[in-house]
Amino acid sequence: MVASLIKLRFLVLRNSLKRSPWQLVAVIIGGLYGLGVLFAAVAGLFALNFAPVELISTVLVLAGSALVLGWIVVPLVAFGIEQTLDPARLVVFPLSMKQLLVGLTLAGVLGVPGMVTGVVAIATFLPWITHAPVAAIVAVPAGILGLVICVVGSRTVAALSSSLQANRRFRELGGVLIFIPIVLIGPIIIGITRGLATSADVLPELARGLAWSPLGAAWAVPVDVAAGDWLAAGAKLLIALATLALLVVIWRRALAVALVTPPASASRRVARGKTGLFQLFPATPTGAVAARCLTYWRRDPRYARQLIMVPLIPVFLWFYGTNMGNPVLLNLCGPLIAFFLSLALYTDISYDGTAFATHLADGVRGSADRLGRLLAVSVIAVPVVLVATLVTAGVTSSWGSLPMLLGLDAAALLGGYAVVSVSSALIVVPVPQAGDNPFKSAPGAGFTTMLSGFATWGVSLALLLPAVVLAVLSLVFSSALFGWLTLAVGVVLGAVFLAIGLRVGGRLLDRRGPALLARLKMLRSA
């Protein structure tokens, strides 16, 4: 049965790639990137064979700990945890929980990230060949244990987030709740970076501490074997095995709950006339689209996931500004938030799914659709950007730079809106369906999303360039005139870009609406 699951995993992947040539290109590029990372990692491990034992121990434990943490955290904040075999679709088959856990684990190992990680994990024997042959032998099973911890840890987080979505209140707020501990990681990482920058002696001590933690225990076993400390090696092996056992128990429980608990539905009330946010917008196609989209922004965890950068930006700017002795760096908070929020809609129709058919059936013009979506996100973006700009200017006593900062805000928001008005009428990518785990990603979707996202960012940065040049001149020459010119150019040129983007995007949507719907249906059936 497990072998059938693995075969099914590759059949699903093959069929998904057949449906989308771009997804095939993304997987190929991702594979080439993985091969590059693999070659560099293996070459580095072989080079460590000529380094001192203490350096080998430090590098292996720190890199292994970062690898485990990356498997757990990065998919949540980046492109989603790829699950070719969706457990929810396997529940109707006669699979025991043990078979399901083993099958999903092997499916994770056989993906591009899993295979790259596996080869690197096994290659950790290379540094010990000349120093301690026994440690080289032990490093192979220890590396495999570390690989399994990575995969199972990633799947555990995915199952836990899916379980949260089964509850109505957690489904509405779960995305934000999940991001709270992730936001707190920022100060921790920067604090560690500061310590490492000031003293290289911290690294061995940090490695020795992580060696006794669930993150680094598996990678530290051959280190103690090389040192002849078999008692410590056995203790760390027990820590690694206990970590894996605990992850399996949590995963099993979360998966069991997710498989038998249907997604909760919000209570339905029948009311006359307009209800909810529809009362706040005019009774026009643009107003209806804006009210519907703003409802999604308020209640859909998939949209909440896109807001993670908002609380992270001021944290990072404050820490980096403190480290560099330049607190004025915090003034970039508003423009950066404006940039990221303006691009949140670059594939907005993908989140509509087949519900986009209602726009076509009701004859909503493309221009009304484009403007309604921008109005919805502006309800969130404009107040947040203004508050961030004013507060940071007050904190740093930079009121003289306020026109320049507001100009950058306007250029970033309006220019970004112009780009996403066009991109969301052209680009449709695989995304989690409504009610699904918001951290799930279709095979190849992560790299496809990354490529399209980078293209959108590039165009938006090009449109932002005139305002940036004037802002730099304002700072270099301490010129209030250039600051006001930045504001004027940001507003006027941004408005021109937005008008062009709305016009072009609306026409594209009118012409390509049926093709987009067909693509959405194909992705849903994948």
Mind listing the pLDDT tens digit for each residue in 429-482? 777 666 655 555 555 555 566 666 777 888 899 999 999 999 999 988 888 899
Check whether residue 65 and residue 150 sit in a common domain.
yes
* Dihedral, 10, 12, 13, 17 alpha carbons, nearest 10: 140
Check whether residue 369 and residue 475 sit in a common domain.
yes
Q: Is the pLDDT of residue 418 over 90?
A: yes
Identity (one letter) of the amino acid at 159?
A
Residue 439's SS3 state is: coil
Q: Is the pLDDT of residue 253 over 90?
A: no
Per-residue pLDDT, 322: 75
Q: Residue 74 — very low, low, confident or very high, per pLDDT cuts 50/70/90?
A: low
Check whether residue 190 and residue 256 sit in a common domain.
yes
Residue 222's SS3 state is: helix
Q: Please state, in angstroms and rounded to a whole number, the distance separating the CA atoms of residues 511 and 157.
A: 41
Residue whose tokens read 């919000």: 266
Per-residue pLDDT, 165: 52
Residue 265 is assigned to a structural domain of this protein:
no
Q: How many domains does the chain have?
A: 2
Residue 35 is assigned to a structural domain of this protein:
yes
DSSP alpha helix (H) spans, 307-438: 309-323, 333-342, 348-352, 357-361, 366-395, 402-423
With beta carbons less than 8 A apart as the criterion, state whether 418 and 410 touch.
Answer: no
Q: Please state, in angstroms and rounded to a whole number, the distance separating the CA atoms of residues 27 and 61.
A: 30
Per-residue pLDDT, 77: 52
Give me the mean pLDDT over the 182-189 stretch: 53
Short-list 144, 434, 121, 186, CA closest to 323 = 186
Residue 334 is assigned to a structural domain of this protein:
yes
Task: Extract the tokens encoding 68.
Answer: 């485990």
Check whether residue 298 and residue 419 sit in a common domain.
yes
Residue 266 is assigned to a structural domain of this protein:
no
Q: Which residue has the higher pLDDT, 163 or 222?
A: 222
Check whether residue 195 and residue 106 sit in a common domain.
yes
Per-residue pLDDT, 526: 55
Question: Out of 18-22, 146-150, 355-359, 511-515, which region has the weakest mean confidence (pLDDT)?
Answer: 18-22
The domain boundary, picked from 260, 289, 324, lies at 260
Residue 186 is assigned to a structural domain of this protein:
yes
Mean pLDDT in the chain? 80
Check whether residue 250 and residue 290 sit in a common domain.
no
Q: Is the pLDDT of residue 96 over 60?
A: yes
Per-residue pLDDT, 388: 92
Per-residue pLDDT, 267: 45
Check whether residue 282 and residue 246 sit in a common domain.
no
With beta carbons less than 8 A apart as the criterion, state whether 82 and 442 touch.
Answer: yes
Q: Which residue has the higher pLDDT, 205 or 182?
A: 205
- On whether the pTM is more than 0.95, the answer is no
How much of the chain, in percent, has pLDDT values that exceed 70?
A: 77
Check whether residue 286 and residue 167 sit in a common domain.
no
The domain boundary, picked from 260, 291, 311, lies at 260
Check whether residue 198 and residue 225 sit in a common domain.
yes
Residue whose tokens read 């899993």: 114
Give me the mean pLDDT over the 86-94 stretch: 68
Q: Could you tell me how far CA 295 lies from the centroid of its own chain?
A: 22
82: β partners? 441
Per-residue pLDDT, 351: 82
Check whether residue 178 and residue 308 sit in a common domain.
no
Positions of E strands within 83-211: none
Give me the mean pLDDT over the 193-208 stretch: 68
Rg (CA), the chain: 25
Q: Residue 114 — very low, low, confident or very high, per pLDDT cuts 50/70/90?
A: confident
Check whether residue 378 and residue 247 sit in a common domain.
no
Per-residue pLDDT, 450: 65
Check whether residue 343 and residue 386 sit in a common domain.
yes
With beta carbons less than 8 A apart as the criterion, state whether 73 and 185 touch.
Answer: yes
Number of residues that this document lists for the chain: 526
Q: Please state, in angstroms and rounded to a whole number, the distance separating the CA atoms of residues 160 and 251.
A: 7
Count CA atoms closer than 13 A to 418's CA, side-chain side.
22
The domain boundary, picked from 227, 260, 293, lies at 260
* Dihedral, 493, 508, 451, 118 alpha carbons, nearest 10: 150
Residue 355 is assigned to a structural domain of this protein:
yes
Per-residue pLDDT, 445: 56
Short-list 282, 491, 285, CA closest to 371 = 285
Q: Please state, in angstroms and rounded to a whole number, the distance separating the CA atoms of residues 152 and 104.
A: 9
Per-residue pLDDT, 357: 85
Q: Is the pLDDT of residue 34 over 80?
A: no
Highest mean pLDDT, choosing among 14-28, 253-267, 424-438, 470-484: 470-484
With beta carbons less than 8 A apart as the criterion, state whether 218 and 152 touch.
Answer: no
Per-residue pLDDT, 499: 94
Positions of E strands within 145-234: none
What domain range includes position 299? 276-525
Residue 271 is assigned to a structural domain of this protein:
no
Positions of E strands within 109-204: none
Angle at 310 between CA 304 and CA 311, to 5 degrees: 100
Identity (one letter) of the amino acid at 321?
G
Residue 58 is assigned to a structural domain of this protein:
yes
